[in-house]
Structure formats: C-alpha cells, structure tokens
Amino acid sequence: MGNGTQQLPRRPVTWVSYVALVIAIVVFSGVFATAVGWWKIFDFTVLLGSFGSIKGPEANFIFRGVGGTGARDGFLFSISLMPAVILALGIVSIVESLGGLAAAEKMMNPLFKPVVGIPGIVGLAFITSLQSTDGSAAMTKQLFDDKEITDNERTIFAQLMFSANGTVTNYFSSGAALFPFLTLPIILPLVVLFIFKIFGANVIRFIVNMPGKRAPVA
C-alpha cells in the first residue's frame, strides 16, 4: 500500500489477480458465516475470532468488563475494534500485491461508474461493508490515502456504506427476529435496503457535483 503521498505501481492483472479477488470477496461477503466444516476458515468473522473471557463469580466477561463509562470505556472499546481493522487491511494488502484491486476496478467499473459515479476499485471495500463496518471504513481511508479515489468519490462511497452498513450481517442476525412476522419474501426487505443505499449515494453524488461547488482544499 502507499504511504499517502505516492501511489505505488500496480501489479499487472493476471489470472492470479482474479483468484485473489474472488477469495477476498468470499472471505468478506459472509458466505461461509454459518458453515460447520473446515471451509468456515474462509469467513472474515471466523478468522477474526473472539476474545477470551475472564471468569467472575456470577458470569464471564471479556477484558472490557461491564458497566464502563466515559473515556476509559471508550478507549477499551477502540482497542476491541483494532483486530478487525488490522486483519482487513492485511488481507487487502495481500490482494493488492497480487493485482486483485486492479482486477476489481476492471470488473466493477461498468457497475459502479454509471450507478453511483465512483470507480470499481472500491468494490472490495463495498463487499466488506456488507459484513464489517470497521474493516470497510479502514479500507476506504486507505484507498483515499493511496489516491485511488478522490475526496468527492470518498464522500459518495461513504454514504453508500453508511446507509445500513453491515447490511447482510445485521439483517440476518438482528433482523432475524422479525422473520416469523413477515408476510413477504425474506429477501425483499434486503433488496429495499440496497435500493435506498443507491438512492442515498446518488443524492450525495448530485450535491458534491453541483455547479459552483467549492473544490476541497488540498
């Protein structure tokens, strides 16, 4: 990855690039989130694992404990986010070194450019956002720091992710409680979520591209 001041030359797109991209998509998409065999190692949350518990007299707790408040609890919460961000950026660095991000841009430009006006290189970060909010945010920052996307494109993409971020994970976990009461296909509300994600992104796209809008200061 770049250091924020200079974009490194990309590896040529080969069959290895597409294989790396497909594996990354599978890992970040949550396809194997409920797998019970050895192939569950291809899921991001499984690779992320969990913190060990501290045994107490009445229950077990992770290192954050319970009932924390203020800056101290916020600090421990930020520490709990670090593994997800570090793992996500590590996987992306490997995929990028194999040309996977260039392959993503080549494959997804025809979709992202006309639909929301951003380059296809954000495709992997978008797929990550369907499962991990923290990992996708870190990946987006890295894309901007490496000058792969502009400030306006970052703003549009942030809106695309911000609306119902962690879409698939949250829908099939928290939303599962409502499934018995649905009188329509389970997949339909998920489709509506995606439609409004695209709608919101295009609203921001219109705003940032308005004539006379002041360009961001470099």
Q: Find the domain containing 199 and state its range.
A: 15-52+86-208
Q: For residue 206, what pLDDT is reported?
A: 93
| Overall number of domains in the chain | 1
107 within a domain of the structure (yes/no): yes
Q: How far apart are CA 58 and CA 33, in angstroms?
A: 31
Q: Are 56 and 49 in contact (CB under 8 A)?
A: no
What span, in angstroms and rounded, lies between the C-alpha atoms of 150 and 144?
Answer: 7
Confidence at residue 11, expressed as pLDDT on a 0 to 100 scale: 64
Residue 32 counted as domain residue: yes
67 within domain boundaries: no
Of 6, 84, 11, the closest CA to residue 45 belongs to 84
* pLDDT for the residue numbered 9: 55
Strands (E) across the chain are located at 54-55, 60-61
Residue 60 forms part of a structural domain? no
User: Would you say residue 133 lies in a domain?
Assistant: yes
On whether residue 116 sits in a domain, the answer given is yes
From first to last of its 218 residues, the chain has per-residue pLDDT tens of 444 434 445 567 788 888 988 888 888 777 777 777 888 888 888 888 888 888 877 777 888 877 888 898 888 888 888 888 888 888 888 888 888 888 888 888 888 999 999 998 898 888 888 877 777 888 899 899 988 899 999 999 999 988 888 887 777 767 766 777 778 787 788 889 999 999 999 999 999 988 766 555 55
* Residue 137 maps to a domain: yes
The neighbour count for residue 96, using CB atoms within 10 Å, is 25
Residue 176: its pLDDT value, please? 65
- Does residue 124 sit within a domain? yes
Residue 216 pLDDT:
57
